[in-house]
Amino acid sequence: MGVAYVLGRTVITPLARLIYRPRVEGKHLVPRSGPVIFASNHLSFIDSIAIPVAAPRQVHFLAKSSYFEGSGLSGWASRQFFTSIGAIPVRRGAGQAALDALDQQRALLEAGSAVALYPEGTRSVDGRLYKGRTGVAFLALQTGAPVVPVGLIGTDKVMPKGATLPSPKHRITVKFGEPLDLSHHGHASSGRARRGATDEIMAAIHALSGQELAGAYNEVQPQSPIERIKQALPHERR
Protein backbone atom coordinates (compact mmCIF):
# COMPACT_ATOMS: atom_id res chain seq x y z
CA MET A 1 0.00 0.00 0.00
CA GLY A 2 2.89 2.38 0.80
CA VAL A 3 2.59 6.16 1.15
CA ALA A 4 -0.84 6.40 -0.49
CA TYR A 5 -2.44 4.06 2.03
CA VAL A 6 -0.78 5.80 4.98
CA LEU A 7 -2.13 9.09 3.61
CA GLY A 8 -5.59 7.57 3.34
CA ARG A 9 -5.58 6.30 6.92
CA THR A 10 -4.22 9.53 8.38
CA VAL A 11 -6.03 12.11 6.23
CA ILE A 12 -8.91 10.74 4.15
CA THR A 13 -10.36 8.46 6.85
CA PRO A 14 -10.58 11.12 9.61
CA LEU A 15 -11.92 13.64 7.07
CA ALA A 16 -14.64 11.24 5.91
CA ARG A 17 -15.60 10.54 9.53
CA LEU A 18 -15.83 14.27 10.22
CA ILE A 19 -17.97 15.10 7.17
CA TYR A 20 -20.22 12.05 7.02
CA ARG A 21 -20.36 11.16 10.75
CA PRO A 22 -20.92 7.42 10.32
CA ARG A 23 -22.48 5.52 13.19
CA VAL A 24 -20.31 2.47 13.89
CA GLU A 25 -21.50 -0.46 15.99
CA GLY A 26 -19.66 -3.64 17.00
CA LYS A 27 -16.16 -2.38 16.25
CA HIS A 28 -14.90 -4.23 19.33
CA LEU A 29 -15.96 -7.53 17.73
CA VAL A 30 -13.50 -7.23 14.83
CA PRO A 31 -10.29 -9.29 15.30
CA ARG A 32 -7.36 -6.89 15.33
CA SER A 33 -4.94 -9.33 13.68
CA GLY A 34 -4.94 -12.40 11.48
CA PRO A 35 -6.97 -13.17 8.35
CA VAL A 36 -10.53 -11.86 8.31
CA ILE A 37 -13.25 -11.71 5.66
CA PHE A 38 -15.71 -8.83 5.98
CA ALA A 39 -18.93 -10.01 4.29
CA SER A 40 -21.34 -7.15 3.70
CA ASN A 41 -24.60 -6.24 2.03
CA HIS A 42 -24.13 -3.98 -0.98
CA LEU A 43 -26.22 -0.86 -1.57
CA SER A 44 -23.91 1.79 -3.03
CA PHE A 45 -20.58 2.55 -4.65
CA ILE A 46 -19.41 4.05 -1.35
CA ASP A 47 -19.83 0.75 0.53
CA SER A 48 -16.21 -0.01 -0.32
CA ILE A 49 -15.22 3.28 1.28
CA ALA A 50 -17.54 3.03 4.30
CA ILE A 51 -16.11 -0.31 5.47
CA PRO A 52 -12.41 0.73 5.45
CA VAL A 53 -13.35 4.04 7.12
CA ALA A 54 -15.29 2.30 9.91
CA ALA A 55 -13.09 -0.78 10.43
CA PRO A 56 -10.46 -0.70 13.20
CA ARG A 57 -7.86 -2.32 10.93
CA GLN A 58 -6.57 -2.19 7.38
CA VAL A 59 -9.06 -3.64 4.90
CA HIS A 60 -8.45 -4.62 1.28
CA PHE A 61 -11.08 -4.97 -1.41
CA LEU A 62 -10.97 -5.64 -5.11
CA ALA A 63 -11.78 -2.79 -7.48
CA LYS A 64 -12.10 -2.61 -11.25
CA SER A 65 -8.68 -2.32 -12.86
CA SER A 66 -9.95 0.61 -14.93
CA TYR A 67 -9.82 2.76 -11.78
CA PHE A 68 -6.03 2.34 -11.83
CA GLU A 69 -5.37 2.66 -15.56
CA GLY A 70 -6.40 6.22 -16.41
CA SER A 71 -3.96 8.74 -17.82
CA GLY A 72 -3.21 12.33 -16.93
CA LEU A 73 -4.02 14.06 -13.67
CA SER A 74 -7.43 12.43 -13.29
CA GLY A 75 -5.92 8.96 -13.79
CA TRP A 76 -3.23 9.68 -11.22
CA ALA A 77 -5.82 11.00 -8.74
CA SER A 78 -7.98 7.91 -9.23
CA ARG A 79 -5.05 5.55 -8.63
CA GLN A 80 -3.97 7.43 -5.50
CA PHE A 81 -7.48 7.54 -4.07
CA PHE A 82 -8.28 3.87 -4.55
CA THR A 83 -4.87 2.81 -3.29
CA SER A 84 -5.32 5.05 -0.24
CA ILE A 85 -8.48 3.20 0.81
CA GLY A 86 -6.96 -0.27 0.37
CA ALA A 87 -8.27 -1.18 -3.09
CA ILE A 88 -6.46 -3.74 -5.24
CA PRO A 89 -6.99 -3.74 -9.02
CA VAL A 90 -8.59 -6.76 -10.64
CA ARG A 91 -10.01 -7.45 -14.08
CA ARG A 92 -13.61 -8.51 -13.61
CA GLY A 93 -15.28 -11.29 -15.50
CA ALA A 94 -15.73 -15.02 -15.64
CA GLY A 95 -13.23 -17.77 -16.28
CA GLN A 96 -9.59 -16.89 -15.70
CA ALA A 97 -10.39 -13.38 -14.46
CA ALA A 98 -12.56 -14.80 -11.66
CA LEU A 99 -9.88 -17.33 -10.72
CA ASP A 100 -7.23 -14.59 -10.62
CA ALA A 101 -9.43 -12.53 -8.29
CA LEU A 102 -9.90 -15.55 -6.03
CA ASP A 103 -6.15 -16.14 -5.96
CA GLN A 104 -5.53 -12.50 -4.98
CA GLN A 105 -8.00 -12.74 -2.11
CA ARG A 106 -6.56 -16.05 -0.93
CA ALA A 107 -3.03 -14.64 -0.97
CA LEU A 108 -4.12 -11.66 1.14
CA LEU A 109 -5.77 -13.92 3.71
CA GLU A 110 -2.79 -16.26 3.84
CA ALA A 111 -0.64 -13.19 4.57
CA GLY A 112 -2.87 -12.41 7.56
CA SER A 113 -4.75 -9.51 5.95
CA ALA A 114 -8.44 -8.55 5.98
CA VAL A 115 -10.55 -8.44 2.82
CA ALA A 116 -14.06 -7.10 2.22
CA LEU A 117 -16.45 -8.93 -0.09
CA TYR A 118 -20.10 -8.78 -1.13
CA PRO A 119 -21.85 -12.18 -1.19
CA GLU A 120 -24.73 -10.71 -3.24
CA GLY A 121 -22.25 -10.13 -6.06
CA THR A 122 -23.48 -6.70 -7.12
CA ARG A 123 -25.37 -3.71 -5.74
CA SER A 124 -29.03 -4.05 -4.79
CA VAL A 125 -31.02 -1.60 -6.90
CA ASP A 126 -34.20 -1.86 -4.81
CA GLY A 127 -32.74 -1.96 -1.30
CA ARG A 128 -33.62 -5.61 -0.67
CA LEU A 129 -31.10 -8.23 0.48
CA TYR A 130 -30.52 -10.86 -2.20
CA LYS A 131 -29.37 -14.44 -1.84
CA GLY A 132 -25.66 -14.92 -1.32
CA ARG A 133 -23.35 -16.52 -3.83
CA THR A 134 -21.04 -19.22 -2.52
CA GLY A 135 -17.67 -17.67 -3.43
CA VAL A 136 -17.22 -15.95 -0.06
CA ALA A 137 -18.00 -19.16 1.81
CA PHE A 138 -15.62 -21.11 -0.44
CA LEU A 139 -12.82 -18.69 0.41
CA ALA A 140 -13.60 -18.86 4.14
CA LEU A 141 -13.76 -22.66 4.20
CA GLN A 142 -10.60 -23.00 2.13
CA THR A 143 -8.49 -20.59 4.20
CA GLY A 144 -10.09 -21.05 7.62
CA ALA A 145 -10.50 -17.27 7.95
CA PRO A 146 -13.35 -16.11 10.19
CA VAL A 147 -16.11 -14.10 8.54
CA VAL A 148 -17.23 -10.83 10.13
CA PRO A 149 -20.75 -9.99 8.87
CA VAL A 150 -21.36 -6.32 8.12
CA GLY A 151 -24.68 -4.52 7.86
CA LEU A 152 -24.59 -1.20 5.97
CA ILE A 153 -27.55 1.13 6.38
CA GLY A 154 -28.12 4.38 4.49
CA THR A 155 -25.25 4.26 1.98
CA ASP A 156 -27.80 4.19 -0.84
CA LYS A 157 -29.18 7.51 0.42
CA VAL A 158 -25.77 9.12 0.78
CA MET A 159 -24.81 8.09 -2.74
CA PRO A 160 -27.61 6.56 -4.80
CA LYS A 161 -26.91 4.97 -8.16
CA GLY A 162 -26.10 7.63 -10.74
CA ALA A 163 -24.87 10.22 -8.22
CA THR A 164 -21.41 11.65 -8.88
CA LEU A 165 -20.61 12.65 -5.28
CA PRO A 166 -21.79 11.45 -1.87
CA SER A 167 -24.19 13.77 -0.03
CA PRO A 168 -23.43 14.86 3.55
CA LYS A 169 -27.16 15.33 4.24
CA HIS A 170 -27.60 11.73 5.35
CA ARG A 171 -25.70 9.58 7.82
CA ILE A 172 -24.77 5.95 7.36
CA THR A 173 -24.59 3.15 9.90
CA VAL A 174 -21.98 0.41 9.81
CA LYS A 175 -22.70 -2.61 12.01
CA PHE A 176 -20.05 -5.29 12.61
CA GLY A 177 -21.29 -8.65 13.86
CA GLU A 178 -19.76 -11.53 15.78
CA PRO A 179 -17.05 -13.35 13.76
CA LEU A 180 -18.35 -16.57 12.24
CA ASP A 181 -16.38 -19.82 12.29
CA LEU A 182 -17.81 -21.72 9.35
CA SER A 183 -15.64 -24.84 9.60
CA HIS A 184 -18.52 -26.93 11.03
CA HIS A 185 -20.20 -26.86 7.61
CA GLY A 186 -17.51 -29.05 6.10
CA HIS A 187 -14.82 -28.80 3.42
CA ALA A 188 -14.71 -26.15 0.72
CA SER A 189 -15.01 -28.87 -1.95
CA SER A 190 -18.53 -29.73 -0.76
CA GLY A 191 -21.36 -27.87 -2.47
CA ARG A 192 -23.61 -28.49 0.53
CA ALA A 193 -20.97 -27.01 2.87
CA ARG A 194 -20.58 -23.92 0.68
CA ARG A 195 -24.35 -23.41 0.51
CA GLY A 196 -24.83 -23.90 4.24
CA ALA A 197 -21.98 -21.53 5.09
CA THR A 198 -23.33 -18.93 2.65
CA ASP A 199 -26.80 -19.08 4.16
CA GLU A 200 -25.32 -18.60 7.66
CA ILE A 201 -23.39 -15.54 6.44
CA MET A 202 -26.48 -14.03 4.81
CA ALA A 203 -28.61 -14.65 7.91
CA ALA A 204 -26.05 -12.75 10.00
CA ILE A 205 -25.97 -9.86 7.50
CA HIS A 206 -29.77 -9.73 7.48
CA ALA A 207 -29.88 -9.55 11.28
CA LEU A 208 -27.61 -6.50 11.12
CA SER A 209 -29.09 -4.66 8.12
CA GLY A 210 -32.77 -5.41 8.70
CA GLN A 211 -33.42 -5.37 4.94
CA GLU A 212 -36.37 -7.01 3.26
CA LEU A 213 -35.32 -10.36 1.82
CA ALA A 214 -35.56 -10.70 -1.96
CA GLY A 215 -35.53 -14.50 -1.95
CA ALA A 216 -33.63 -14.56 -5.25
CA TYR A 217 -30.19 -13.92 -6.72
CA ASN A 218 -29.27 -10.43 -7.83
CA GLU A 219 -28.63 -11.22 -11.47
CA VAL A 220 -28.45 -9.17 -14.64
CA GLN A 221 -31.31 -10.04 -16.94
CA PRO A 222 -30.10 -12.44 -19.67
CA GLN A 223 -29.99 -10.87 -23.11
CA SER A 224 -29.89 -13.91 -25.36
CA PRO A 225 -31.88 -17.18 -25.47
CA ILE A 226 -28.71 -19.14 -24.55
CA GLU A 227 -28.14 -16.95 -21.50
CA ARG A 228 -31.77 -17.40 -20.41
CA ILE A 229 -31.45 -21.17 -20.71
CA LYS A 230 -28.20 -21.19 -18.70
CA GLN A 231 -29.76 -19.08 -15.95
CA ALA A 232 -32.81 -21.35 -15.78
CA LEU A 233 -30.74 -24.52 -15.40
CA PRO A 234 -29.71 -25.59 -11.87
CA HIS A 235 -26.23 -24.26 -11.09
CA GLU A 236 -24.27 -22.93 -8.16
CA ARG A 237 -23.95 -19.15 -8.08
CA ARG A 238 -20.29 -18.44 -7.33
Q: What is the DSSP string of 173-194?
A: EEEE-PPB--GGG--TT-HHHH
Mean pLDDT of the chain: 84
DSSP conformation letters of 77-105 = HHHHHHHHTTEEEE--SSTHHHHHHHHHH
Is the pLDDT at 66 greater than 50, yes or no? yes
**Rounded distance between C-alpha atoms, residue 139 and residue 143, angstroms:** 6
In this prediction, residue 40 has a pLDDT band, given cuts at 50, 70 and 90, of: very high
pLDDT in tens, 86-118: 677 766 555 555 567 778 889 999 999 999 999
**Rounded distance between C-alpha atoms, residue 123 and residue 129, angstroms:** 10
Which are the contacts of 205, defined by CB distance < 8 A and separation ≥ 6? 39, 40, 41, 119, 129, 132, 149, 150, 151, 177
pLDDT in tens, 110-152: 999 999 999 998 899 899 999 999 999 999 999 999 999 999 9
pLDDT in tens, 180-203: 999 999 999 999 999 999 999 999
Phi-psi region of 154 (alpha: psi -120 to 50; beta: other; left: phi over 0): left
Phi first, then psi: what are they for 133, rounded to 5°? -85, 160
Residue 9 is inside which H or E element, if any?
A: none
Q: Give the C-alpha distances (Å, rounded to integers) separating 210 from 124, 127, 154, 223.
A: 14, 11, 12, 32
Residue 67 is inside which H or E element, if any?
A: none
Mean pLDDT of 57-79: 77
Q: What is the pLDDT of residue 168?
A: 86
pLDDT in tens, 164-186: 888 888 899 999 999 999 999 99
Between 146 and 218, whose confidence is greater?
146
Of 77, 175, 185, give the one whose Cα is nearest residue 134. 185
Which DSSP letter does residue 54 get?
H
